[in-house]
Amino acid sequence: MTATYNPGVHKFALFVVLWAILLFVAGALVTSNDAALSVTDWPKSHGTWFPSLKTLKGGDLFEFSHRLFAAGLGLLTAVLAAWLWTREKRTWLRWFALIAVLGVAVQAALGGQVVIQLLHYWLPVIHACFAQIVFAAVLSIAVFTSKWWVSDQPQLEDSGSPSIHFLATLNAAVIYLQVILGAGFRHKEIPIWPHMAGALVVLGVVIWTAVALRKRFGQSRELSRARVMLHAIFGTQFLLGFGAYWSRLTTLDAPQPMPVMVYLTVIHTVVGAILFAFSILIVLMCYRLIPRGREVRAEAARQVSPG
Ligand code: HEM
Ligand code: HEM
């Protein structure tokens, strides 16, 4: 590993991750408060770049504050990328940061289309799901710039099958599919049952991944901690899911938006994003700590070849 640790860049990257979580809360509040079409133009809001905050009420406030947080994320990610371009030796990371900036721009354009196309063509679902990719990308930059990632780590051996890399990636993929099903229901495109069935599949894959991590890498402090956290976040999200559904059912005939429904659906959406991002973190940890089969074979061949 030729990279050097730059605490300034890493701390800034962590700040961008926190900002992205706040942006998720702001975005989820728009949906739960049914405020998506409160401001019907884009990129301006009610014909101006910055409407007077005094005139913003109810839905307008949710929609505009989400746009403001989104603009903030765009700016922060651009600064992070510029910083990495001046300081970072790893070319791939510099490009990765640039792609993340592009990702935020695409997400903003999608957000604009959600409004302009009046919530049609599955755009709210696509916007909700792409947001998770953007979040995972920002989190990955924070991981790649961390001291842990750039310092030497004792390498572990994976003797099981399928490989832990495959399992961790499957875990992240299944959680992402579950997010898509959740967004499909939340934006009224599909019924709830696929998302409920999906929760059972996620449960199975999370257990499979965690058991493999415990049996094969029980001695690794990092992976053991990650395993426990995966269980904890998943368990919380599972319970929140029932809470979110219950809140929709009990407030069906009440004047919306009812606070209990708003809180529970927003928290379930945001913890869903955190769970997906955490599953990506586990994938990255596995790639960092455990050489893949072909890397192990290449290393063995180097050692036996003369010279
Ligand atoms: C740039 C980064 C952005 C991110 C990461 C982001 C993220 C999100 C998230 C997580 C949600 C909640 C989805 C849900 O609860 O199902 C959301 C909703 C929404 N966002 Fe964004 N957003 C961004 C930019 C924008 C922009 C620039 C607009 C411009 C109008 C926008 C418009 C909306 C609208 C209208 C909704 C509500 C959709 C609905 O209720 O159907 N977003 N956003
Ligand atoms: C266990 C893994 C689960 C994950 C990762 C997950 C994730 C998500 C996410 C990310 C969303 C919002 C998508 C978006 O628009 O951005 C969502 C929505 C939803 N989920 Fe889950 N969920 C899980 C389990 C459950 C369970 C067990 C239930 C129980 C019924 C449930 C019920 C719901 C409901 C009702 C919504 C829509 C909320 C609303 O009405 O606004 N979820 N889920």
CA trace torsion 50, 53, 56, 58 (10° rounding): 120
Residue 124's region, left for phi above 0, alpha for psi from -120 to 50, else beta, is alpha
Ligand 1 atom 39: the closest Cα is on which residue?
31
- In sequence order, what are the beta bridge partners of 48? 45
Structure tokens at 285: 């940890």
Residue 202 has pLDDT above 60, yes or no: yes
pTM for the whole structure? 0.95
Radius of gyration of the chain (CA): 21
Pocket test for ligand 1, best of 31, 101, 130, 178 (most atoms within 8 A of CB): 31
Percent of the chain clearing pLDDT 70 (strictly above) = 98
Q: Which ligand is nearest to the CA of 108?
A: 1
First-last CA distance in the chain: 23
pLDDT range class, residue 303, cuts 50, 70, 90: confident
- In sequence order, what are the beta bridge partners of 45? 48
132 or 307, higher pLDDT: 132
Q: pLDDT tens, 143-160?
A: 999 999 999 999 999 999
Ligand 2 atom 25: the closest Cα is on which residue?
241
Structure tokens at 151: 């310092």
Q: Which ligand is nearest to the CA of 129?
A: 2
Query: From the CB of 230, is ligand 2 less than 6 Å away?
Result: no
Q: pLDDT tens, 39-55?
A: 999 999 999 999 988 87
